[in-house]
Structure formats: structure tokens, C-alpha cells
């Protein structure tokens, strides 16, 4: 893809997914737009073995945007980083197409691995604010990671993961639409469990009252 087409593509990605953007000129100020242009240039240098220059370009982008993408990471088309401050993407990370990351997301390693040590994020995945995905496993396509979750193991396609450590709370065969980027209305397994306990407690209380009345 030529540089003009690449720039046009990145502009359209930001405009499509951020309702706060009102014109193409605003996109030029957007951290996601800036960092992706720097990443594409740094990645080309990295593949050619110009490691120092690649890191120099990527670190300049990190200082300007607060988003740190290692030039060795492999990123497909349509990556959107909303706000983006504090986002970290490790060297051996692989990201598919149409992936959305929010601020504070880390795609990192555990510190114990060699070789492929960062996650693979398949197409159409959404990772909410503050989530950490750590290790050399795969997050399957169309999945969602809830805000603040810490994911340490494989996530099958079409799943919703929440919690620390991350737990799968929803899994079905229906693909999550690309335009669905709702970070809030995700299942809360802790809340659901507390509600069940409260319901059982109320039932027990009623039974005790009946026995006392007898």
C-alpha cells in the first residue's frame, strides 16, 4: 500500500470509530493516527535490520503520543487506539485486522518466555481500558476483554472475558459486530455471584422466620 493510500486509510479508521472527530483535519492531531504512521515506518526499518533507527522512530512516537509500539510487532489493517495514553505493544505481538484498544492496555510478556512471548490478537477484538494481556497465547477473533482485566491464558473466538485473573463469562457462536465497542455493558461474574448469595440468604431468612412463627 502506497503512503498516500496508507494515510487516507488511517484517517478513515479514526473518523469511523471516534464520534468526537468532526473533520479529517482533527485526525492529524489524534495520537492513534500519529503513532500508526510512525509504527509503519519503524516496522519497515526493523524488517530490514535497521534496529537502532527503528527504535529511534518508535521512541519518538512514544514521547509524542504516550503509546509505545515495538517496531517488531506485526499489526494488520484497521487498528484503532482510542485516547491511547499508556498503551504498550510488545515486540512479538501479532495483531489482526479491525482491532480496537483503549487507554492503558498492555500487550506484554510474562518475563519467563523466549522467542514468541507476547500475545496474538485476532481480527475484530476489542480490549477495554486498563486491560493487560500477558503471554504468548491467542485471543480469538470477535472477542472482548473487559476494562481492568488481566488475561493470562488462551481466549477462544467469540468470547467475553472479565476479571483478575480474566475469566470467560460469555461464549457463543455469534460474531460481535465490528462497530460494537461498548466497554460498559459486559457481564460481571462477581456481582452475579453476590446477587445469588443474597437471594439464597433471603430465602433462608424467610424459612427461619416461618419456623420461629410455628
Q: What is the mean pLDDT of residues 120-132?
A: 94
Within the chain, where are the H helices?
A: 3-17, 24-27, 31-47, 51-65, 189-213
Q: What is the pLDDT of residues 11-36, one digit of tens each?
A: 777 777 777 777 778 777 788 888 99
d(CA 62, CA 70): 10
Q: Which three cell numbers stand for residue 42?
A: 519503524
Q: Would you give the end-to-end CA distance of the chain in angstroms?
A: 81
Count CA within 13 A, CB hemisphere, residue 20: 5
Averaged pLDDT score across all residues of the chain: 84
Residue ranges per structural domain of the chain: 3-213
Instruction: Give the closest residue to 9 by CA, choosing from 54, 76, 83, 71.
Output: 76
pLDDT in tens, 140-176: 999 999 999 999 999 999 999 998 888 888 776 454 4
Helix (H) or strand (E) holding 66: none
CATH of domain 3-213: 2.160.10.10
- pTM of the prediction? 0.73
Rg (CA), the chain: 21
Question: Diameter of the chain by CA atoms?
Answer: 85
Between these two residues, 44 and 26, which has the higher pLDDT value?
Answer: 44
Range 73-87 average pLDDT: 89
* CB count in 10 Å sphere of residue 170: 15
Residue 117 pLDDT class (50, 70, 90 cuts): very high
Say which residue, 118 or 183, is predicted with more confidence.
118
Average pLDDT over residues 78-93: 90
Strand order in the sheet with 138-139: 74-75, 94-95, 120-121, 138-139
Q: Quick one: average pLDDT of 126-148?
A: 93
Amino acid at each position: 500500500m502506497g503512503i498516500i493510500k496508507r494515510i487516507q486509510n488511517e484517517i478513515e479508521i479514526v473518523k469511523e470509530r471516534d464520534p468526537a472527530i468532526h473533520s479529517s483535519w482533527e485526525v492529524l492531531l489524534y495520537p492513534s493516527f500519529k503513532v500508526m504512521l510512525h509504527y509503519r515506518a519503524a516496522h519497515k526499518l526493523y524488517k530490514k535490520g535497521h534496529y537502532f533507527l527503528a527504535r529511534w522512530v518508535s521512541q519518538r512516537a512514544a514521547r509524542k503520543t504516550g503509546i509505545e509500539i515495538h517496531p517488531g510487532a506485526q499489526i494488520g489493517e484497521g487498528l484503532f487506539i482510542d485516547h491511547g495514553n499508556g498503551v504498550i505493544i510488545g515486540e512479538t505481538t501479532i495483531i489482526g485486522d479491525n482491532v480496537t484498544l483503549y487507554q492503558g492496555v498492555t500487550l506484554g510478556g510474562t518475563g519467563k518466555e523466549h522467542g514468541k512471548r507476547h500475545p496474538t490478537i485476532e481480527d475484530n477484538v476489542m480490549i477495554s481500558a486498563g486491560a493487560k494481556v500477558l503471554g504468548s497465547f491467542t485471543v480469538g477473533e470477535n472477542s472482548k476483554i473487559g476494562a481492568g482485566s488481566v488475561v493470562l491464558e488462551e481466549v477462544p473466538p467469540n468470547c467475553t472475558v472479565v476479571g483478575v485473573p480474566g475469566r470467560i463469562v460469555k461464549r457463543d457462536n455469534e460474531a460481535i459486530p465490528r462497530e460494537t465497542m461498548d466497554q460498559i455493558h459486559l457481564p460481571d461474574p462477581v456481582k452475579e455471584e453476590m446477587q445469588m448469595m443474597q437471594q439464597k440468604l433471603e430465602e433462608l431468612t424467610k424459612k427461619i422466620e416461618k419456623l420461629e412463627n410455628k
